[in-house]
A and B are shown apart, each in its own frame.
Chain A
Amino acid sequence: MNKKSFADHIKKYAVTYLFIMLSVFFIIVSGMDIHYVASQLLLRLNRNAFIVLALIIPIIAGMGINFAITIGAMAAQIGLLLTISCGVTGIPGILMAGFITLVLGSLFGFLIGRLLNKMKGQETIGSMILGYFANGAYQLLFLFIFGSLIPLSDKVTIVGATGVQNTLNLTGSVGLYKAVDGILQVPFLTGLYVLCLCAAAFAVIQYTRKKISLRRMAVTVGVVVFFAALTLVPAIGDIFRKTDRHNAITVPVITWLLIGFLCLFNSTVMSTRLGQKFRAVGQSQTVANAAGIDVDRTRVIAIMLSTVLAGWGQIVFMQSDGIGTFQTYAAHEQVGLYAGAAILVGGASIDRATNTQALIGTFLFHSLFITAQSAASNLFGDSAVGEYFRAFLSYGVIALALVIYAWRASKKKKEGSVDLNALAKN
């Protein structure tokens, strides 16, 4: 590895390294129990990763951060509302909500895509304002149309008034709380060992099938063994094990499998014809158009996929979140902001994103989220500062990423014009 590429790497992932340092600093300063931080992080990672992963396809298709995933979240909330109203519980309930989300999400995604095609180059801001606009429509629907024009059961409406209740409960007889998470919970360490084993086995198989080099296999196995061995160190292993101070950390297997499937989907779709189209459109619409790709249609498909996936992500989030109730009128509001900030923290940019970046970003963003309040309270003697710092982080990282991207683009444009001249000479 030479010096230049290392410097480039640092430059490219400056934001990520900055956040890694910030995270470590915050975890130390906050003085929080490491077990607590770890358990919270795992919880938040499995709640939020799905939504963040839903942002990848539109980024690759050149549509920037799709802040309109809030609309997918709204579709999911409509789905959950109808499910609760019909009284379907457990896995069938989740499936029903998921199906409604699929239908509504596709429809909304189609409309969003059509609209964004009319504002090319302004998709980021356009999708954000579209999210605000849709929030208005959502309020209208939930306050004035549900329960009057569209009858619902009185489990979700307010008796003697119009509109849906302020908070919806997923626990108890509704039976949706932890419906996915609760299917199979294993201790974190067990899960980790199984995962390591699978990864190592996969690497060996790939090697024997001559798909990867010996060196690559050795590195993979080495990393896996290293992580597994790390947990054998008592100080680290005890974070996750049951001790006299705390319970063992468990992870919901099915949720993680879903996240895994989505990662797999994101990477396999890229090798299909459709994925090639996404990439081509993302790189240059003019070139893609010349190559006979229907640019507008491809963009609409990208947004439809993103919207539906975000909706499912919101269902995953809802069934796991908090104590099993959600704010009917506000639960979707910050979805776009937090997911967008998370993926950018992970090193994605406006036109590049990978699964790894999304996962790392979610991890880092939420580690800051958990610790910010205590850290700020210890640093400045005021916990409210921590709350504001979190908001600043979310907006600031998006602003920073946008600035870096726009700056690079304008730089590239200058270089590009030179290249064009050179081409003309040839």
Chain B
Amino acid sequence: MSLSVENKHTDPESKKGLSGRRIFGFVLLGIAAVLIVLAVIGYIMAGSGKSVASLDDMRTQAVLHAASDGLVDSIVAQARQDKLKELRGAKDFRSRGQDAINAELDAAGDAARAEAEALYANPTVEDRTGLFNSIESLESALRAFGTLKESERGRYSELYVKLVDSIGDWTDLTGKAGDDDEKLFSLLTDIVPELGNADNAHLKPAFIRLCRDMSDKEHAREEAEIRSGLVSAMAGAVGDFSALEGLDDDALWEELIRKVPEIEGNERFRDDLLAEAKRRAAAAASGETVEETVKDEGADTVYETQTDYTYFAASDQLKKLEEDNEAAFGALWGELVTVIPDLNNLSSKLQKSMRTSIEDIVWPGSDDFATRYATYTGETGDKGIGFSMKLPASAEKLLVGGIALMLLGLVLVGWNFLTSRFGVPRTIITLFFLYLCLAAVLYDISLPMMMGDILVRMGMYGILVLAMMPGIQSGIGLNMGMTIGCIAGLLGVVMSLQFNMTGFPGLIFACLVGMVVAVPLGIAYSKLLNRMKGSEMTISTYVGFSFVALMCIGWMMLPFNNPKIIWLLSGHGLRVTHSLLNSYAHILDGFLAFEVLGVKVPTGLLLVFLLCCFVMWLFSRSRTGIAMTAAGSNPRFAEASGISVDRMRTIGTTLSTVIAAVGIVIYSQAFGYAQLYNAPRQLGFIAASAILIGGATVRKARVGHVIFGVFLFEGVLVLGQQIANSAVAGGGLSEVMRIMISNGIILYALTQSGGASRE
């Protein structure tokens, strides 16, 4: 309906030929072509011997510059120090202001700099071959060392992540092993067999230390948990703290134990709790309340295990390469000393810092023309080298800029076609996604790795997004209350944990329990929605929110009793976050996983997602599915042709709820953790925005919308997060982007659906 209106509106414009937008688009395309041609020329020049030779010359110059610069700096620092000593010796030192002293120090420094620069700047060398050769040999030594170090760190990181991801309870391990390191290590090798390999032998002490540290940290965390549990128990049980004002410590402690039985036996927190109680009592006396806040755990925070390299240890081979490296630098140092003899006067500390800066110049970590050029010019500050160097150095930027302009130009030229075909938001977000890919290239973010992440997140969120589909098809619109299904699924997960089920049986059990619980909930919920035609989205949002809040109480009260999943302190109530590492985390991701072109494909996860999509597709082709879609898209017509609209809506809603239950189980296994309480609250919004980005409307949805939407949405989020992190110091930008995209797309869908059609 709205589509045809749009077409009518835009057709005359496109017939007019060239609108301003198209002209601008063509101009952009022209500029893009020029940039891309320049970039290609740049790449060709970068490969030519001549440019590389002059780049090598620049390097020699940069090394000399670094040496002389360091020397000059050290002389200046020395001069300032001497001057300061002299001033300190003078009688009027204390009476003089800081500014005056600084000015004098600066003057002394400047004088020394002028003198030193006259002596050492631009050192002249008759014959550079010796210097050149020693730089070459240092480069190859550094390259070998760097490559090996990189691979060893990679191997270490792999082991680290594997270990940290698969151990849920470190204190348990250290408890079993006691002080015996050997026993501890054998326990570790039981968990990660690769640790026992001969070529990892040098890492053994590192991992033992890691395990001990982790266990200590975990212990501290548990203590903190108990402490905060006690504080909130105290806050609740006491309520009015003003009655406690003025009691002395012992009396207060007695009183607290009387009111809050849990405190008994936790003498180690005595000081903390007393201080807290006093603080509250003082606040209460002055008529203020201390607000208790329940922290909202965001549903979308993916913990990724970050490798901690402080435990890294080098292998013998690496140590040997380091020695080679030492020798090569010694040779270069010798050459430098022949040019600037005074270098020998430097203190060993300054020599060391000069060494790192020289090494960074000799081997900047890559053979890339632009990186090398930037490093050398950064040192010498000399950019006055002709076009022949600048063009190849900026070839990548030119290429990326050219492609970016080209994309924009193409979109502008084909705007009418694209928007009538894909809609405005999808066009813009796709363009945004492509731009993020380009930005990833500029920031040296590995696209294949990102693609692997996107695939994992696709599998993780996919089924949840799929749950939106039957809701839309059956005519209830965006089913924000799918969180009801999510809670059913989470119930399945905690039940599997309660019975200590692991592996595929646990996962399947969780899914089945979730589905079984979801069916009656979904039916009841759909009966409610059937009475609320026209305002389903508002109602479903708040019913979902209320159900989440109600279940918060439910999670506290349900009679689970496996000590692994309930609060340590009070002995009842489920914890917020449950690690699935010891049960079935990532088993689908790992199933038949393979790597292609550097992209890690989580085969099992994607297969399950695609299988669900396929089943859903089959269903929508079935008699019931067709009837459901008919009931959703035109209820009056459906009613007239003998379809029970209410029954179809019930089927659609229930199906949506059941799929959501499965979805959250799969989500939790891919995430590695199951999160209860407020965590599922926003999942409906995430799923809704994904399917809308995929091109669905509040009245129409297909499987293709689900797949494309979840790819695009997660793609934008994953890439956006990485790029935001490398572009802007301090996080937050990616979260802002998520909030704005996700809610913006829902708002857009609302403006398209609501409007004058109602009332």
Interface residues of A (CB under 8 A from B): 30-33, 36, 39-40, 43, 115, 118-122, 124-126, 128-130, 132-133, 135-137, 139-140, 143-144, 161-163, 246-247, 285-286, 322-323, 370, 373-374, 376-377, 380, 382-389, 391-392, 394-396, 398-399, 402-403, 406-407, 409-410
Contact = CB atoms under 8 A, between A and B. Distances in A.
Contacts of B91: none
A32 B289 CA distance: 13
Contacts of B386: none
A406 B758 CA distance: 14
Contacts of B240: 32-33, 36, 374
B236 A373 contact: yes
B527 to A, nearest CB: 12
B650 to A, nearest CB: 17
B743 A407 contact: no
Contacts of A286: 759
Given A132-B743, A136-B736, A140-B736, A122 B750 contact: yes
Nearest to B541: A125
Contacts of B736: 136, 139-140, 143-144
B754 A389 contact: no
A10 B12 CA distance: 61
A322 B283 CA distance: 10
B746 A120 contact: no
19 contacts: A30-B239, A33-B240, A43-B287, A115-B751, A119-B755, A133-B743, A139-B735, A140-B736, A144-B732, A162-B729, A285-B759, A377-B233, A385-B556, A388-B549, A388-B677, A396-B549, A399-B546, A403-B543, A406-B535
A399 B531 contact: no
Contacts of B729: 161-162
A33 B747 contact: no
Contact of A395 (B233, B284, B549, B747): B549
Nearest to B549: A392
B125 interface: no
B730 A162 contact: yes
A322 B747 contact: no
B337 interface: no
Contacts of A403: 528, 532, 539, 543
A121 B573 contact: no
Contact of B288 (A120, A133, A322, A394): A322
Given A30-B239, A36-B242, A121 B758 contact: yes
B276 to A, nearest CB: 14
Nearest to A403: B539
Nearest to A401: B542
Given A121-B758, A126-B754, A136-B737, 5 more contacts: A122-B758, A322-B291, A385-B556, A392-B549, A403-B532
B704 interface: no
Contacts of A161: 729-730
A265 B513 CA distance: 56
Contact of B542 (A115, A118, A122, A399): A399
A391 B552 contact: yes
Contact of A388 (B539, B545, B556): B556
Contacts of B732: 139, 143-144, 163
A398 B739 contact: no
A178 to B, nearest CB: 11
**Category for how many chain B residues contact A:** 35 or more
Nearest to A246: B242
Contact of B239 (A124, A133, A373, A396): A373
Which of B549, B751, B758 has the most C-beta atoms of chain A within 10 angstroms of its own C-beta? Answer: B549
B733 interface: yes
A402 B539 contact: yes
Interface in B538-566: 538-539, 541-543, 545-546, 548-550, 552-553, 556-557
Nearest to A391: B549
B292 interface: yes
A129 B750 contact: yes
Given A129-B746, A137-B740, A387 B759 contact: no
Nearest to A140: B736
A386 B235 CA distance: 11
Q: Is the interface of B mostly helix, strand, loop or mixed?
A: helix
Interface string B422-451: 000000000000000000000000000000
B534 interface: yes
Interface in B713-737: 728-730, 732-733, 735-737
A385 B743 contact: no
A286 B543 CA distance: 31
A96 to B, nearest CB: 26
B747 A383 contact: no
A406 B294 contact: no
Contacts of B759: 120-121, 285-286
B537 A125 contact: yes
A132 B729 CA distance: 25
A136 B236 contact: no
Which of B242, B291, B294, B546 has the most C-beta atoms of chain A within 10 angstroms of its own C-beta? Answer: B546
Given A161-B730, A163-B730, A406 B534 contact: yes
B549 A377 contact: no
B236 A407 contact: no
Contacts of A388: 294, 549, 552-553, 556, 677
Contacts of A137: 740
Nearest to A64: B538
Nearest to B235: A383
Contact of B538 (A40, A122, A380): A122
Interface in B86-139: none
Contacts of A135: 739
A143 to B, nearest CB: 5
A396 B550 contact: yes
Given A40-B289, A143-B736, A119 B751 contact: yes
A385 B232 CA distance: 11
A399 B539 contact: yes
Contacts of A323: 283, 288
B185 to A, nearest CB: 41
Nearest to B542: A399
B215 to A, nearest CB: 28
A273 B677 CA distance: 49
A139 B739 contact: yes
A176 B126 CA distance: 73
B615 to A, nearest CB: 30
Contacts of B758: 120-122
Contacts of A122: 535, 537-538, 750, 753-754, 758
B754 A384 contact: no
A373 B192 CA distance: 46
A410 B531 contact: yes
B380 to A, nearest CB: 30
Contact of A136 (B532, B541, B556, B740): B740
Contacts of B10: none
Contact of A407 (B232, B532, B549): B532
A322 to B, nearest CB: 6
A43 B284 CA distance: 13
A384 B537 contact: no
B320 interface: no
B552 A392 contact: yes
Contacts of A392: 546, 549-550, 552-553
Given A30-B239, A392-B552, A406 B531 contact: yes
Contacts of A119: 750-751, 753-755
B628 to A, nearest CB: 22
Contacts of B739: 132-133, 135-136, 139
A206 B17 CA distance: 74
A120 B531 contact: no
Contacts of B747: 115, 126, 129-130, 133
Given A139-B732, A407-B532, A121 B754 contact: yes
A39 B242 CA distance: 13
Contacts of A128: 541
Nearest to A121: B758
A36 B291 CA distance: 15
